[in-house]
Structure 1
Amino acid sequence: MAMAYKMATEGMNIKEECKRWFTEMKWKKVHRFVVYKIDERTRAVLVDKVGGPGEGYDELVAALPGDDCRYAVFDFDFVSVDNCQKSKIFFILRSPAASRIRAKILYATSKQGLRRVLEGVHYEVQATERSEMGFDVIRERAQ
């Protein structure tokens, strides 16, 4: 546990690809979501999976492991109450109850470093259960 805390407080190396994939998702709309993971050996945040433009929220949820932590950003398109097409970007920290304590600590303490790099996130969701990041939760937060 002490090593996990030490690694987190020293800061994670956030690879350039993390920002690049996010920027492409945000501005070019060529990706619907990006999933990030921490490589404990190299102390770096890496891109784990990228969702294509035709993929939706269900594919994002399926891309997140049930027994390990991950970060994800999701570009949520919706029609507002006044019939305007809008887009909001969500940052999701998925920390399942079945994941290791060390991983939970690393992801929780390293979150702000990644958030600083990903400029333009509108909302943040932290979820231990899949129900805490359900589509209805995302839709409600966006509107």
Structure 2
Amino acid sequence: MAVDDDCKSKFLELKAKRTYTAWSSSRSRRSRSRSSWTSSASPTTLPADECRYCVYDFDFITEEGCQKSKIFIAWSPDTAKIRNKMLYASPKERFKRELDGIQVELQATDPTEMGH
């Protein structure tokens, strides 16, 4: 799955202007991808039964004292169908690589895995 041009431009806007705080992308076998951007969202609002890729702009400091902000979340809830999980698992690395500037990756199956 390639990242479409709209996704890339919105991600660049998130990096440069911090206009958005979160972005998620969904896809199906029939369509390339759908994405949505919002200026006030939380990764805990992801669907309970569908996989998503999400970028969350959240400032934090690591245990090593480094400031980070761009978090790539591979959301794959336990209740998602196996086919949906497979559609997201194989292109994840390529998708993430195309969004230059991701600082942290998080694989989550439950909202509690995305806590502060």
TM range (shorter): 0.7 to 0.9
More helix, by proportion = 1
1:45 to partner: Cα distance: 2.9
- How far apart, in 2, do the equivalents of 1:65 and 1:75 lie? 19
- How far apart, in 1, do the equivalents of 2:80 and 2:21 lie? 26
Which deviates more, 71-80 or 121-130? 71-80
Structure 1 residues 107 and 91 mapped into 2: Cα distance closer, same or farther (>3 Å)?
same
Gap regions ≥5 residues in structure 2: none
2:18 to 23, 29, 32: 29
The RMSD of aligned alpha carbons is 2.2
- How far apart, in 1, do the equivalents of 2:62 and 2:51 lie? 32
User: Please, what TM-score do these two structures have when normalized by structure 2?
Assistant: 0.87
1:61 to 44, 49, 52: 44
Larger radius of gyration: 1
Letter matched to residue 132 of structure 1? E
1:104 to 85, 95, 101: 85
CA contact 1:18–1:46 (8 Å) conserved in 2: no
1:92 to partner: Cα distance: 0.0
Identity of aligned residues (%): 35
User: Please, what TM-score do these two structures have when normalized by structure 1?
Assistant: 0.72
